[in-house]
Structure 1
Amino acid sequence: MKRAIPVFLLIVLVWISGCIGGGTSTIPTTPSAPETTTITKTEKVVETVTQTVTVTQTMTPQKYPITIVDSLGREVKIEKEPERIVSLAPSITETLYFIGALDKVVGVTKFDDFPPDVKEGRTIIGGFSDPNIEVIASLNPDLIIGTSMHMQYLDKLQEIAPVIIVDPKNIDEIYEWIIKLGKVVNREEEAVGVVNYMKAIVEDVESKVSNASRPKVFYLLGYWDGYWTTGKGTFIDSLITMAGGENIFSDIEGWKKVSAEDIVARNPEVIIISYHAGVNPGDLCNTPLANTDAVKNGRVYVISDDNIISRPGPRIVLALQEIAYFIHPEAFNYAYQPKACARCFFMTFSLFFNEDLLWVEWL
């Protein structure tokens, strides 16, 4: 009985083993998902893109045609850049030279003398006040530039080419006309440079005389049956003011003949004489002007070149400098030796006795 228990236990163990691993058993598994094949299809998509592109271009501005208002208030239209210019005045020729447009000038007057070789290769079209219309027409100009002196010829000249009348009355108007002519002939940058150069000289002069006294000045333009001088509205009048002086005839208009008595009554302290005035400083000792402070104190001067003061162009600033030297020599470290009129009378009287005593010391 005791032996039967182990056998019984063995049978139970075998039976349990059979239940666990005996025979063929199927272990349930999770069914696999069906196999899926992924096909990637590449399609070409064409899109229309509207794109705004900003292109910056540097373009030469169109300069012509241009319209210029001249000194007569006329609107003058310039269709294209002038290449054949007739200048009716030396001042205009000089201005065109300074702004680099002299190569465009085909005709000048017989009085043109600056630059020195200005007449070479150019046709003389007559005088300043009497230009030859036929000669001008033969040059086939595309622009004619004149002054108020040429108004009487305006109708005939306009039949030939556009005509610009230039007539500045003071240095500011000279500046304006240099710039205007620069635009007309396509030399604007050069014109601006010339004006800046002129303004630098003017500023230098004005700064030196700004705090000085203002001596009374008589400008003797010429002596032809009387004393001719310059008044208000002229560039010489404005130069005297800018140079630190007071024009004793600033109350008259333009260019006028005045009497010796009137000059003496206004008693100038400085007298400036044009180079071609027809009279020199020594001559004034034999006139009523000997009674003026200017002659008594020997403050009578002669301008070195009439053209720099009579032509309203770029060289006018050289005249300003010279006038300022005469009026305020101390401001520019100049030392003119006075020639007193009393000595003049003595020397004039002494001519009867000694021919060596002459008027050579006057400036």
Structure 2
Amino acid sequence: MKQLTDQLGTLHSFETAPKRIISLVPSQTELLFDLGLEEKIIGITKFCVHPYHLKSTKKIVGGTKKIHFEKIKLLQPDIIICNKEENTLEIVEQLSAICPVWVTNIVSVEDNFQMISDFGQLFNCRTEAQKWNDKLTFALNDFKKYIHDIPSKKAAYFIWKNPYMVAGKDTYINELLKLNHFQNIYEEKGRYPEIELKKMRLEGDPDLVFLSSEPYPFKEEDAFDIGRFTHHAKTIFVDGEMFSWHGSRLLKAFPYFKLLHERLKN
């Protein structure tokens, strides 16, 4: 009997390592694949787009907020992977009637390392998990050296329109902004505050306005609308996966961030 605790502090007991996995978190589906667990994944969401071929080889069981309970039940999973931010408490409670629901909670880079170690223990792939954590540690240290002398800039990171919403404190996005020496002007406004464009200059007057590709795909006309309310800010479209996907995606984020900083120099 193996006993392990997830990132919400819930204790789970397993006779053997789970062999039938459903993942309701796109970034964690990618991580499970990268840990060599493709054969054990039986169900994913319609938003699990990396690696792309999984959409044609695995059962789609809904989205991250709306799931097909019966489809999941019929798949007879040993474990369902959820995330505190991506999936609702109601979903987690409902699914707990089927099998153990492992919930991750990633706010910091350290939480990300912990999740990978946990998956190594949970699915008996400790060596692969350690390899990933070693690669990420090396890449993180390398990036910290790169960013060391780059001065801080004030930034606003937009995630939604109608209403306009930005990333705030206690979010993984905010942690990655800080890692990049971007000072989030909305850090003290809550996790994902709604904001008024006309107040942006008063609330921090950012140097940079980041328009994310997800969950809302911002377009050129949005950049124009938002730009009318900024003083001198540079508006930049960014890949939302690099700022908000945790797991193994972080390894691809570091070179992306370096390119972003090179663009900002021009």
TM-score by length of 1: 0.67
1:99 to 35, 47, 70: 35
Alignment of 1:83-94 (within 5 A): 83-94=19-30
Q: Kindly tell me: are residues 316 and 292 of structure 1, through their superposed partners in 2, closer, same or farther at Cα, counting changes over 3 Å?
A: farther
Query: Which residue of structure 2 aligns with residue 318 of structure 1?
Result: 252
Which deviates the most, 257-266 or 172-181?
257-266
Residue 267 (1) aligns with residue 205 (2): yes
1:256 and 2:193 are equivalent in the alignment:
yes
Question: Which residue is 1:223 aligned to?
Answer: 161
Q: 2:140 aligns with which of 178, 202, 220?
A: 202
Deviation at 1:286, TM superposition (A): 4.3
Q: Deviations over 1:199-226 (max 9, x none)?
A: 222212211111221111111112223x
2:122 maps to which residue? Answer: 184
Displacement of 1:170: 1.7
Deviation (angstroms), 1:310: 2.6
Flag the 1:120–1:325 CA change in 2: closer, same or farther, 3 A.
same
Which whole-Å deviations, capped at 9, do the CAs of 1:15-55 have from their partners, x for residues lacking one?
xxxxxxxxxxxxxxxxxxxxxxxxxxxxxxxxxxxxxxxxx
| Bigger Rg over Cα | 1
Q: State percent identity of aligned pairs.
A: 24
- Structure 1 335/168 Cα, relative in aligned 2: closer, same or farther at 3 Å? closer
The letter for the 1-side match of 2:19 is E
Flag the 1:120–1:278 CA change in 2: closer, same or farther, 3 A.
Answer: closer
Find the counterpart in structure 2 of residue 164 from structure 1: 102
- TM-fit CA distance, 1:97: 0.9
Q: Does 1 or 2 have the higher relative contact order (CA < 8 Å, sep 6+)?
A: 2
1:244 is displaced (CA, Å) by 1.8
Matched residue type, 1:291 = T
Contact kept? 1:89, 1:109, Cα under 8 Å: yes
Structure with greater strand percent: 2
Residue 111 of structure 1 corresponds to which residue in structure 2? 47
Q: Is the 8 A contact 2:82 2:101 kept in 1?
A: yes
Partner of 2:89: 151
Q: 1:284 to 1:144 in 2, by over 3 A?
A: closer
Cα pair distance change 1:281/1:86, threshold 3 Å? same
Query: Is residue 229–residue 255 contact of structure 1 (8 Å, CA) maintained in 2?
Result: yes
Q: How big is each residue's C-alpha offset from its partner over 1:97-118, in whole Å with a ceiling of 9 and x where there is no partner?
A: 1111121111111111111101
SS of the aligned residue for 1:219 comes to strand
Matched residue, 1:232: 169
In structure 2, the gaps of 5 or more residues are none
Tell me the equivalent position of 1:307. Answer: 241
Shift of 1:320: 4.5
Give, as a single letter, the amino acid of the residue that structure 2 aligns with 1:162. Answer: P
Contact kept in structure 2, 1:284 and 1:290, CA below 8 Å: no
- What's the CA shift for 1:325? 3.7
Whether 1:246 aligns to 2:183 is yes
For these two proteins, the number of residue pairs brought into alignment is: 262
- In 2: Cα distance, 1:167 partner to 1:87 partner: 14
Quick one: distance in 1 between partners of 2:199 and 2:133? 38
Structure 1 residues 40-73: Cα deviation after superposition (integer angstroms, max 9, x where no partner): xxxxxxxxxxxxxxxxxxxxxxxxx222212221
Say whether the 8 Å CA contact 1:264–1:291 is kept in structure 2.
Answer: yes
Report the CA distance between 1:317 and its aligned residue. 4.0
Unaligned runs of 5+ in 1: 1-64, 338-363
Structure 1 vs Structure 2 CA RMSD? 2.1
Instruction: Provide closer, same or farther for how the CA distance between residues 284 and 136 of structure 1 changes in structure 2, counting only shifts above 3 A.
Output: closer
> Within 5 A, what are the aligned runs for 1:54-133?
65-133=1-69
Structure 1's 278 and 165: CA in aligned 2 closer, same or farther, altered over 3 A? closer
Separation in 1, partners of 2:245, 2:112:
10
